[in-house]
Amino acid sequence: MTDVRGRLRSGPVPAIKTLVERPDLADAPMGTDADVPAFVGHDPAGRFVGYWGIAERFPEFSLVAVDPDGAVVGKGGGVPFTGRGTLPDRGWDELLAWALDDVRRGAPPDSLGLLGIAVRPDQRGTGLAARMLRALKEAARAADLAEVVAPVRPTMKDREPDVPMREYARRTRPDGLPADPWLRTHARAGGTIVSVAPASMVVAGSLAEWRAWTGLPFDADGPVHVPGALAPVLCSLAHDHAVYVEPNVWVRHPLP
């Protein structure tokens, strides 16, 4: 569910470790927030990441990137789950529900679902996010999983919230790679776009909450363009609420 730029910079590179190797960094802050809008943290399913201690529950699939000074400059992770034969329209939310249900049932996993990769703003453009993606694929391969799947939050989609995600995800450059930088990084890593998750995350709140999350007035009925949102937020004055339904793009990485 983060973004990446494609160019590389010189200089010392951060070391990527799992929480098996560095359990002391499970709750370490990154110092500067990643570029993820505040309202995304109010997706109800996402709260289970903290409530259930997802990173600590699956430390082999939870990564931290540590710079030469010992500061955490990136985090990423995923959850193992048993494939259901198709990828859900409810994307990120349903993926997390599947993983937790599989733990409850004791079902053996065969796939890794990527929950997200976040890098500190000063690390964008270094290739760190791509390195973390490769590291998660290696972790899944080491666990004998068959594939990694990711409900991807495309980097540049928030610039065109009214464009349907299916249209956006089809865009390519002259070389055939996806036009979006983060989708392009997945493609270069061996991933294939397979579908759109039209309701990957859902954030609903009162108008007072949305005003607090965004600093916007939310004083008119209808769609509201919110910075960082991949689609319009729908506002209802009569019902005193607004609802955001985020589309993501399902990308599949087979692990031969």
Of residues 251, 245, 248, the one with CA closest to residue 197: 248
Give 50-91 pLDDT, tens digit per residue.
777 888 899 999 999 999 999 999 999 999 999 999 999 999
Q: What is the chain's mean pLDDT, rounded?
A: 92
What pLDDT shows up at residue 36?
76
Residue 84's φ and ψ, nearest 5 degrees, are -110, 10
Q: Which domains does the chain have, with CATH numbers?
A: 15-200+248-254 (3.40.630.30)
User: What is the three-state SS of 182-202?
Assistant: HHHHHHHCCCEEEEEEEEEEE
Verdict on whether the full-model pTM lies above 0.85: yes
Q: Rounded to an integer, what distance in angstroms lies between the CA atom of residue 162 and that of residue 165? A: 9
Cα-based angle 140, 248, 212 (whole degrees, multiple of 5): 115
| Burial state string for 116-148 with b = 16 or more CB within 10 A and e = fewer than 16 | bbbbbeebbbbbbbbbbbebbbebbeeeebebb
**C-alpha distances out from residue 176 to 52, 130, 171, 188, 189, Å:** 41, 19, 9, 11, 14
Q: Which two tokens stand for residue 138?
A: 């290696």
